[in-house]
């Protein structure tokens, strides 16, 4: 019988700790937060010092009862959620439910989940950090006050269902302001000139025009902005000698980058692996909580992944230096460990993200990790190892060449010692200059040497606006502005995308939607403080001060609430009422002759007849660059309405495009835009109908029997006309997953057969047992798709 109870957040972490602690310890998982503010109301008593009304989260009552039951006869209870504010709040709420007078409840912190770290933490337990809990509580209440006060205002002024957030709305504002800068940007022409030259000895080399008549060629002093100006400058060089006036040779050192903090890991995984921040954090969470390494059992491979500190423990430094010397040789080990300075507001309680042990190099653990786990672990491993290696050394040369009134400059460098570059170099965003520019060898030249001109190449350029943000570069911007913390970066980006205030284009760049721009403009005008970058960063500083005991959380809340409540009262009266707003146009309704107006609907702006409700004519429209409004022409199709015989046209509804009768409103017939497509696979349930590919009203593909509604068999995954090799079912299904790639499964829930398809060689690999991908589910007919969709959406089987 276990004498002690340990409570963690996740089942994966519970499994790893159970292995380390042995039979005298029972490990339970809370599965995240167990208590929170109620969803149905504000849950904060502003008049009573912002007293919070906490409720047990739906579905967590049984988990709490299990924890309380397990704790009854235990000598010690150890609360071991993650070592951050959210983890402290989880520990605080569980402790309250266990009973505030219990003396055997302890708080333990793990920066890494290794046997040594876990046993050391259990041996030296602490108490719940009240300041850290109050910092989390202040953040939660701040977010609730903003969200639950601004959202109803947006419902009233724009449309129901909208929401606003203290930090997320600032992130949307940053994206909107970048978009305005891009649209307002005017490209300017400029020219560069390169000369291909050679001396008496090879190789030929390139020099770039750097100065004309003593003025540097740049955007501040001098710019060649026309071809005529270029010809004027180069015209004086026709017969002038090209003479070397200066040669500089020096050794240049390039230093390694620090080990990862959360934001840098997310950015680098985006650059090098193409992973979005939320995906990177899910993978890192698994690596932190523990991965099954076969005979060794579950092992936590990395330290805590939500950190903004670059600090490394002395033990880890010693181990890294020993590994580098053994693997790469002593020249790669610097004389003293490399130490990196964290940013001034970093929470230094945690280390940087690093491997927990130098014993688990990527080659050793590769067989136990899936593709994405190995990719992220290798990234973290290489970055950490490189951070403790010697600097790279280059022999750099710069040569100035005079000709007429011009000075050309050639630069080159040769790698002398690769140092950390042997293991890792940091990626770069496309708007950053390359550190490798000027790479290559220049000929041996001396002052006074005359070189020969081989070719003179002018090149036209145009200035470019700042690029739109990606998820990774937005996080970089948020971090530099002091907005958010390591635990919130990924969720901030996810939230603004889910709310459809921002979308990603084909290049994965973030663009504000029409709705996002409108809501941002309204909020900035009415709540200049809340939507202010500096103000939001200052609030993050206040939360840090609360955690460090330098500020009382109620005082910080009052400082925020008083001006916010005044702005709220003012906005109730003065904010634009977009919902009821009708902006006149010069267009005339072709059905009744009354003026058309611009209104705002669920899908943005549209043209509507001012004669509504007598005339219900509406149209989409586009704006030209000069602001002119162009009504969108109705897209007439070859389809004919089966009710009245008139042509069907493409129309827009709540869930996207559909076919509607051109005789509307006299005829309101509608059909789905995408017709069901046959798959050639017989229905598993009735054996008569053919499985048809359909699209739900939200655009998601699903597969259902063609005999609907007589047969209501539905599958989310694509049917493959092959019998199950395990149970002989009529067909199997195929799905592409993020974790395992292409996976094939049996359609029968009770069978559980599934295989992973290796796209590289076409072979199959077994996967863990799972739930089935298909289920008989009632369907209902919907105006948006006509053919129906699954009514009660269930989670498709996951691998």
Sign of CA dihedral 671, 677, 678, 682: negative
Residues 304, 332, 424, 740: which is the catalytic one?
304
371 phi and psi, to 5 degrees?
A: -60, -45
Q: Are 168 and 519 in contact (CB under 8 A)?
A: no
Place of tokens 């005991």: 549
Q: Could you tell me whether strands 76-79 and 4-8 are parallel, antiparallel, or unpaired per DSSP bridges?
A: parallel
Interacting residues of 68 by C-beta distance below 8 A, sequence separation 6+: 97, 98
Q: Are 24 and 2 in contact (CB under 8 A)?
A: yes
Taking the alpha carbons at both ends of the chain, their separation in whole angstroms is 35
Alpha-carbon span 138 to 116, nearest angstrom:
34
Q: Could you tell me whether strands 789-790 and 779-780 are parallel, antiparallel, or unpaired per DSSP bridges?
A: antiparallel
161 phi and psi, to 5 degrees?
A: 95, -10
Sign of CA dihedral 503, 505, 508, 509: negative
Helix (H), strand (E), coil (C) string for 256-311: CCCCECHHHHHHHHHHHHCCCHHHHHHHHHHHHHCEECHHHCEECCEECCCCCCCC
| Residue ranges of E strands in 647-721 | 647-653, 656-661, 670-671, 677-682, 690-695, 701-705, 713-715, 718-720
List the Cα angle 579/583/588 in 5-degree steps: 125
Q: Is-catalytic flag, 424?
A: no
> How many residues does this entry show for the chain?
799
The closest alpha carbon to 241, from 447, 456, 401, belongs to 401
Alpha-carbon span 177 to 213, nearest angstrom:
40
Alpha-carbon span 630 to 329, nearest angstrom:
70
Q: Could you tell me whether strands 189-198 and 690-695 are parallel, antiparallel, or unpaired per DSSP bridges?
A: unpaired
Alpha-carbon span 592 to 51, nearest angstrom:
58
- Give whole-number Cα distances, 618 to 593, 598, 636, 657, in Å: 13, 10, 16, 15
Alpha-carbon span 551 to 543, nearest angstrom:
8
Q: Are 146 and 166 in contact (CB under 8 A)?
A: yes
Q: Are 783 and 653 in contact (CB under 8 A)?
A: yes
Tokens (6 digits) for 36: 């929170």
Interacting residues of 534 by C-beta distance below 8 A, sequence separation 6+: none
Q: In sequence order, what are the beta bridge partners of 209?
A: 408
The closest alpha carbon to 412, from 249, 254, 256, belongs to 249
> Residue 734: how many CB atoms within 10 A of its CB?
15
The closest alpha carbon to 21, from 131, 115, 123, 139, belongs to 115
Q: Are 109 and 350 in contact (CB under 8 A)?
A: no
**String of DSSP letters for 238-261:** TT--EEEEEEEEEEEEEPPPPPB-
Tokens (6 digits) for 400: 């100035």
The closest alpha carbon to 340, from 234, 259, 403, belongs to 259
Alpha-carbon span 534 to 510, nearest angstrom:
22
Q: DSSP letter for 517, please.
A: H
Alpha-carbon span 210 to 768, nearest angstrom:
63
Interacting residues of 431 by C-beta distance below 8 A, sequence separation 6+: 466, 467
Query: Which residues are the active-site residues?
Result: 304
């Amino acid at each position: 019988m276990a004498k002690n109870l340990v409570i963690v957040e996740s089942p994966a972490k519970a499994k790893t700790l159970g292995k380390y602690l042995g039979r005298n310890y029972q490990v339970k998982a809370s599965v995240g937060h167990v208590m929170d503010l109620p969803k149905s109301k504000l849950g904060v008593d502003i008049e009573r010092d912002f007293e919070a009304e906490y409720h047990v989260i739906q579905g967590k009552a049984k988990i709490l009862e299990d924890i309380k039951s397990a704790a009854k006869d235990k000598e010690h209870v150890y609360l071991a959620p993650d070592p951050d504010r959210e983890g402290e709040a989880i520990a605080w709420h569980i402790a309250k439910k266990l009973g505030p007078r219990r003396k055997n409840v302890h708080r333990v912190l793990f920066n890494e989940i290794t046997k040594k770290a876990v046993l050391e933490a259990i041996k030296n337990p602490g108490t719940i950090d009240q300041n850290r809990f109050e910092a989390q509580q202040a953040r939660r209440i701040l977010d609730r006050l903003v969200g639950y006060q601004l959202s109803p205002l947006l419902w009233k002024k724009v449309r129901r269902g909208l929401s606003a957030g203290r930090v997320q709305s600032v992130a949307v504002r940053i994206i909107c302001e970048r978009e305005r800068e891009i649209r307002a940007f005017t490209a300017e022409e400029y020219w560069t000139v390169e000369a291909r030259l050679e001396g008496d000895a090879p190789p030929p080399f390139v020099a770039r025009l750097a100065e004309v008549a003593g003025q540097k060629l740049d955007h501040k002093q001098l710019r060649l902005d026309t071809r005529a100006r270029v010809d004027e400058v180069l015209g004086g060089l026709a017969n002038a000698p090209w003479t070397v006036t200066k040669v500089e040779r020096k050794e240049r050192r390039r230093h390694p980058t620090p080990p990862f903090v959360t934001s840098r890991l997310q950015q680098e995984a985006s650059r090098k692996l193409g992973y979005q921040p939320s995906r990177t954090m899910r993978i890192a969470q698994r690596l932190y909580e523990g991965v099954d390494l076969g005979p060794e059992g579950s092992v936590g491979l990395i330290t805590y992944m939500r950190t903004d500190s670059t600090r490394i423990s002395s033990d880890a430094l010693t181990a890294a230096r020993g590994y580098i010397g053994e693997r790469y040789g002593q020249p790669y080990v610097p004389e003293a460990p490399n130490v990196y300075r964290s940013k001034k507001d970093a929470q230094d309680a945690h280390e940087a993200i690093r491997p927990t042990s130098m014993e688990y190099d990527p080659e050793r653990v590769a067989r136990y990790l899936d593709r994405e786990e190995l990719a992220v672990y290798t990234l973290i491993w290489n970055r950490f190892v490189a951070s403790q290696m010697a600097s790279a050394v280059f022999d750099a040369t710069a040569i100035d060449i005079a000709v007429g009134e011009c000075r050309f400059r050639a630069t080159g460098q040769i790698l002398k010692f690769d140092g950390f570059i042997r293991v890792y170099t940091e990626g770069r965003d496309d708007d950053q200059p390359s550190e490798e520019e000027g790479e290559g060898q220049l000929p041996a030249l001396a002052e006074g040497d005359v070189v020969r001109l081989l070719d003179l190449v002018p090149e036209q350029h145009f200035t470019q606006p700042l690029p739109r943000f990606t998820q990774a570069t937005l996080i970089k911007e948020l971090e530099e502005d002091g907005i958010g913390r390591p635990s919130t970066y990924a969720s901030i980006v996810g939230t603004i995308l889910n709310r459809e205030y921002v979308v990603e284009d084909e290049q994965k760049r973030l663009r504000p939607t029409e709705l996002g721009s409108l809501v941002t403009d309204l909020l900035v005008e009415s709540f200049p403080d809340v939507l202010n970058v500096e103000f939001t960063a200052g609030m993050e500083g206040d939360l840090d001060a609360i955690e460090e005991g330098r500020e009382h959380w109620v005082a910080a809340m009052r400082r925020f609430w008083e001006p916010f409540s005044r702005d709220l009262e003012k906005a109730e009266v003065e904010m634009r009422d977009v919902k009821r707003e009708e902006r006149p146009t010069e267009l005339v309704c072709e059905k009744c002759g009354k003026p058309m107006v611009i209104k705002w609907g669920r899908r943005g702006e549209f043209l509507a007849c001012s004669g509504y409700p007598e005339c219900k004519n509406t149209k989409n429209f586009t704006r030209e660059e000069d602001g002119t409004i162009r009504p969108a022409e109705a897209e007439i199709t070859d389809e004919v309405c089966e009710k009245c015989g008139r042509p069907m046209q493409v129309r827009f509804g709540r869930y996207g495009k559909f076919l509607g009768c051109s005789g509307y409103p006299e005829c309101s017939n509608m059909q789905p835009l995408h017709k069901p497509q046959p798959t050639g696979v017989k229905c598993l349930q009735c054996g008569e109908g053919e499985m048809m590919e359909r699209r739900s009203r939200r655009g998601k593909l699903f597969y259902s029997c063609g005999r609907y509604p007589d047969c209501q068999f539905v599958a989310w995954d694509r049917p493959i006309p092959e019998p199950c090799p395990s149970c002989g079912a009529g067909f199997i299904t195929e799905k592409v997953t993020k974790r395992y790639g292409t996976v094939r499964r049996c359609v029968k829930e009770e069978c559980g057969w599934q295989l992973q398809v290796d796209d590289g060689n076409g072979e199959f690999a077994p996967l863990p047992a799972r739930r089935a991908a298909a289920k008989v589910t009632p369907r209902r007919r919907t105006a948006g798709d006509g053919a129906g969709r699954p009514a009660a959406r269930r989670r498709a089987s996951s691998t």
